A and B are shown apart, each in its own frame.
Chain A
Amino acid sequence: MSTDHAQRATRCLVAKVGLDGHDRGAHVIARAFRDAGFEVIYSGLHRAPEEIVQAAVQEDVDVLGISILSGAHNTLIPKVIDGLRSYDAFEDTLIIVGGIIPEEDKSQLEEAGVDAIFGPGTSTEETVEFVREHAATDG
């Protein structure tokens, strides 16, 4: 007989991908997620898409937040998503993107599999709320 209580937590990977040294936004969102009670894994700067995929798969995260301000989103983000698909980890991962994404690029990223894009000026509450509503905290 087992009397354990199931203990779920929302796990998020906050990732910086590519040659982009701006991590203030990633730090702010990591902290907001932590304060919301999530478990946040921070990737550190200058990660290759494969590294992000490796981390997302091994950590079995519910949410992958990619912060990108370099303008290389059209190249890097689809690579991450393809990598997740190859490990069968795309379907149950909520993918959100923060940073500078031009309006005309958004639909392309969303078609690639990004669930939401949060640009400059988004409140952390809004992002946290979105994650609460959409992340599948599966067990």
Chain B
Amino acid sequence: MADLSDANARLYESLLDGDHAALARVITEIENRTPGYRELLAALHAETGNASVVGVTGSPGTGKSTLVDALTKQYREADETVGVIAVDPSSPYTGGSVLGDRIRMGSTAGDMDVFVRSMSARGRLGGLSMATADAVKALDAFGKDRIIVETVGAGQNEVDIVETAETVVVVVQPGSGDDVQLLKAGILEIGDLFVVNKADKDEAAGTVADLETMIHMSSEPAAGLSTGHHAPDTAESEPETVDSEGWTPPVIETVATTGAGVDDLRNALDDHRQYLAASGAGEGRRRQRAETEIRRLLRADLGGLAERVLDCHGGMETVASRVARRETDPYTVVGELVDPLESAVGESLATESKTSE
């Protein structure tokens, strides 16, 4: 186990003991990137892997929070504990945010076995998905049976977030455009399950039909029009050895405000979980998540090293002004920055191979 500071060791013990305030504090440390948080997560990592993690995404106003609330209520009725992470955007200007998902999660309010945490994007690029994945770990280690990550689906950042989940639910509302819109949004590739919420509206049947047609096309290459890989395949990852072939995403109709269709959703989630376990696809996904995580950390730390080198050269502003004045060019600058790192890496690798001989 990693070395923990005294304070963090106490937090770690309290979290595993089921202290909600300690869990809240650990998530704050994760969010703030408080020094020592990595050691804490390293220690918690061994305790994770037991929870079922579901990602819920969709455009604003589709009823994600209400749906999550309804689902949470069902899990609680089955006596399962639930953790929810609700991610909302933050202002690009002030960094401030109003996190309102909690308002919709009222049906289990007062029940401490439902732990709802709101997170804002806080203007960090790429870092949000890391913070979310880390917060999921804290909830998992705490012993929550079900973890739901909810986010507005509108871009790569959100796709990264939902990829921390083992099952991704895409929520759409009736009349959200024709099949071309669904193609454009790129949501077909990430969904393991689709929910048409507000299914009591007139346009619901059409939206369900559109979705089913699109899903059919992508799961049957013979249909002529391939919408590409079904499984999320980011540039940084190797081609998946285990594909999610064999799973056709169901389309479920719900009315979250009345609870209609929510048990169908719950059953479909369980089906998907069983499918992941039985087909071995779950193992592949877990390995891929670990891969993504290692790559992200590696990139963040190497980026940090580069920043330090940059600081030695007078900082970004100085270097950028020189490039802007045409005194030098970006390629030479980066070459100069990376050279010392490269030679250091070369030296350390050389010593390593000598010692291992």
Contacts and interface: CB of A to CB of B under 8 A. Distances in A.
A100 interface: no
Interface stretch (A48-56, A70-78, A104-112, A114-122): A48-56
B25 interface: yes
A60 interface: yes
A30 interface: yes
Interface in A24-76: 30-31, 33-44, 47-48, 50-51, 54-55, 57-60
A55 B98 contact: no
A38 B95 CA distance: 7
A51 B98 contact: no
A37 B94 contact: yes
A63 B7 CA distance: 22
Task: Please report whether the interface of chain A is mostly helix, strand, loop or mixed according to DSSP.
Answer: loop
A58 B115 contact: yes
A110 B308 CA distance: 48
Query: Which 4 A-B pairs give the minimum distances between C-beta atoms?
Result: A3-B304, A44-B103, A139-B34, A34-B96
Interface in A1-39: 1-9, 11, 30-31, 33-39
Residue among A4, A8, A59 with most chain B CB within 10 A:
A4
Contacts of B307: 3
A41 B102 contact: yes
B98 A42 contact: yes
Contact of B118 (A38, A41, A89, A139): A41
Contacts of A40: 96-99
Interface of A: 1-9, 11, 30-31, 33-44, 47-48, 50-51, 54-55, 57-60, 87-89, 138-139
A34 B97 contact: yes
B117 A44 contact: no
Contacts of A42: 98-100, 102-103
Interface string B98-111: 11101100100111
A60 B118 CA distance: 10
Contacts of A31: 98
Nearest to A2: B38
A105 B116 CA distance: 33
B324 interface: no
A7 B33 contact: yes
Nearest to A32: B96
Contacts of A57: 20-21, 24
B109 A48 contact: yes
B91 interface: yes
A57 B99 CA distance: 16
Nearest to B27: A60
12 contacts: A3-B300, A7-B122, A11-B28, A34-B91, A35-B94, A35-B96, A40-B99, A48-B109, A51-B109, A59-B118, A88-B21, A139-B35
A52 to B, nearest CB: 9
A139 B122 contact: no
Given A1-B301, A2-B38, A3-B304, A38 B96 contact: yes
Most B-side CB within 10 Å, residue of A34, A35, A39: A39
A8 B123 CA distance: 12
Contacts of B243: none
B33 A6 contact: yes
A37 B102 CA distance: 20
A11 B301 CA distance: 27
A41 B35 contact: no
B96 A41 contact: no
B96 A39 contact: yes
A39 B122 contact: yes
A87 B21 contact: yes
Contacts of A89: 21
A55 B109 CA distance: 9
A50 B110 contact: yes
Given A39-B90, A139-B29, 11 more contacts: A2-B38, A4-B37, A9-B95, A30-B98, A33-B96, A34-B96, A40-B97, A59-B118, A60-B21, A60-B28, A139-B32
B120 A48 contact: no
Contacts of A1: 301
A99 to B, nearest CB: 19
A86 to B, nearest CB: 10
B124 interface: yes
